[in-house]
Amino acid sequence: MEMIEETRARINMYGLLSRLLIEEINTQTLEKIKNSPELLELFPKTKEWEEFFTEDPKKLIEEELNVDFTTVFLLNVYPYESVFMHDEGHIDPTATNQTFLFYREHGYSIDLNKTRALSPDHIAIEMEFMMTLAKEELEALEKGNKAEANRLREIQKKFLEEHLANWGIIYLLAAKDMAETPFYQDVCELSLEFILSDYDYLCEILEEGAPA
């Protein structure tokens, strides 16, 4: 039961981070973070940021948060693996993109027309892929299928090693340095810490051969 709850928590975290990195925050999400003590604990700098609580949410988003999001994630530090891993430094949306090939190998498809992403190797899409694998892992756990749960954990570990943790750490450090608002500094720090801790978690679970 504990492992099921842990997997649900991982799904929720990947979902939250993917949402915060793919597009600007909206008032609903901002209010949810502001009014949830558990969520707010994940954002320590934001928790001490007076404007986050005193400023009108719409004004805060339009004048502070959206400007920071645009500056960091759209103009300066492109959140695409191909930009960080290839000498050319260009976004690669082609069918030969290594992240896209990994998705396809494991039965995952993405319609870029439904997202803000220009390529399947956007950091938020990679987090969404991890969330999808964790959801499948949860289904296996609930059915008591240990072999399938471990197979899915191996895929997650491999994806972190070859993709998300391989370049995402460098990217998030650069984005954090560029961010000016406490909120997006927290988003980058939280993402960085979670990716590293999730990799450690998967390594530990697989080494122990934990029961489903």
pLDDT at 167 exceeding the cut of 90: yes
Q: Which of 3-7, 43-47, 85-89, 133-137 has the lowest mean pLDDT?
A: 85-89
Q: Are the C-beta atoms of residues 64 and 52 closer than 8 Å to each other?
A: no
The tens digit of pLDDT for each residue in 73-108 reads: 988 878 999 987 876 667 888 777 889 899 999 988
Residue 179 backbone class (left: φ over 0; alpha: ψ -120 to 50; beta: rest) = beta
Identify the pLDDT of residue 154: 97
pLDDT at 29 exceeding the cut of 90: yes
Mean pLDDT of all residues in 46-60 = 96
Structure confidence at residue 16 as a pLDDT band (50, 70, 90): very high
Is the pTM of the predicted complex or chain greater than 0.85? Answer: yes
The tens digit of pLDDT for each residue in 118-136 reads: 888 999 999 999 999 999 9
Q: CA of 141: how far to CAs of 20, 116, 129, 212, in Å?
A: 28, 33, 18, 5
- Mean pLDDT taken over the chain: 92
Count Cβ neighbours within 10 Å for each residue of 46-59 and write b for 16 or more, e otherwise: bbebeebeeeebee
Mean pLDDT of all residues in 64-81 = 92
pLDDT at 211 exceeding the cut of 80: no
Identify the pLDDT of residue 148: 96
Q: Which two tokens stand for residue 51?
A: 């404007």
Domain ranges for the chain, please list them: 2-208
Q: Torsion over CA of 190, 44, 12 and 110, rounded to 10 degrees?
A: -40
pLDDT at 191 exceeding the cut of 50: yes
Domain 2-208 has CATH 1.10.3480.10: yes
